[in-house]
Amino acid sequence: MARRSQNLIEDVMDITSKLPWWIGMSLAVVSYVVLHWYANQSPPTSAEGVNAIYAAALPGLLRGFAAFGQVVLPIVFLIGAFASAFNGYKRKKLHKDTAQSHSVNPLEEMNWQNFELLVGEHFRQQGFVVEETVGGADGGIDLIAVKNGEKYLVQCKQWKAYKVGVKVVRELLGVMVGAAASGGFIVTSGQFTHDAVVFANDNNITLLDGKALRRMIHGQTKPSGSVEKSEPVSKPYRTDRVMCPKCGAKLVLRTAKKGNNVGKQFYGCSTYPKCRYTKDI
């Protein structure tokens, strides 16, 4: 889904809505105080000559912008803060309603937007700081989850009639390597193929199928089905499994022999010098 074009005010409002609501409220107060103070500063002492006129024009223009901004900018921040609070309420209500639902499979009854909101809220309740990325239905990385200084990429697949195959897991791994992520998650309302489970287990990717996600939302922390762990555990990538995201060849363990990193180990493409891709351990 392509992002529609927005102006600067809408961009600021959108960014603020993704921050905690209290940050938006604080920005509204600070922006009003600062801009109001500047807008009411005394004009410079009048002086003769053309240069003095030009020198006084710029501060006057800036004070005019400040007088306008002291009204507009706090309103923009307040709207973003209210949107953040409303979205937080919506996510928590969706999570609670899903946990209390008596439906056979409530995950399949919601649209993909609500499915992503539900997954994001679940990660927030597990202590992650979650950023919702701009994307479309089942397109690209949907969430970036950070915990204890480590970044994890989350992809949501609300596939009702199909199993998620190994191709999707491989694609996520390529993005993880490029983004230097500690691990990844793929969450689906359906199931995963056996090959997808095997590949994920070897590459620090956690798979959450519909059954496991429902159990976790209902408060049962022990995962089931294709899920191997409920919390990500950082571990080195296995170079016999990990492929270079640039050329598709295997990554091999190397040791730097010169430069500032002499003696340090890293993963490099096996086709070097044809491909010079590297990844720190």
Instruction: Render pLDDT for 41-72 as a digit per residue (tens, 0 to 9).
Output: 876 655 555 566 666 677 778 888 888 989 99
Q: Which of 100, 126, 147 is the last residue of a domain?
A: 100
Q: Is residue 222 part of a domain?
A: no
Domain count for the chain, please give it: 3
Cα angle 95-100-101, degrees, rounded to a multiple of 5 = 95
> Would the pTM of this model clear 0.75, i.e. be above it?
no
158 closest CA partner among 215, 117, 216, 205: 117
Same domain, 191 and 244: no
Percentage of the residues of the chain whose pLDDT score is greater than 70? 77
E strands, 158-262, in order = 163-164, 183-188, 191-192, 205-208, 251-255
Q: Is residue 28 part of a domain?
A: yes
Q: Is residue 279 part of a domain?
A: yes
Highest mean pLDDT among 168-172, 223-227, 254-258: 168-172
162, pLDDT greater than 60: yes
Band the pLDDT of 34: cuts 50, 70, 90: very high
d(CA 192, CA 195): 8
Q: Which of 56, 78, 100 is the last residue of a domain?
A: 100
In this structure, of 7-21, 71-85, 158-172, 259-273, the range with the lowest mean pLDDT score is 259-273
- Cβ atoms 169, 154 nearer than 8 A: no
218, pLDDT greater than 50: yes
Q: Is residue 69 part of a domain?
A: yes
209, pLDDT greater than 90: no
Instruction: Render pLDDT for 64-94 as a digit per residue (tens, 0 to 9).
Output: 888 898 999 999 999 999 988 888 888 888 8
Band the pLDDT of 226: cuts 50, 70, 90: very low
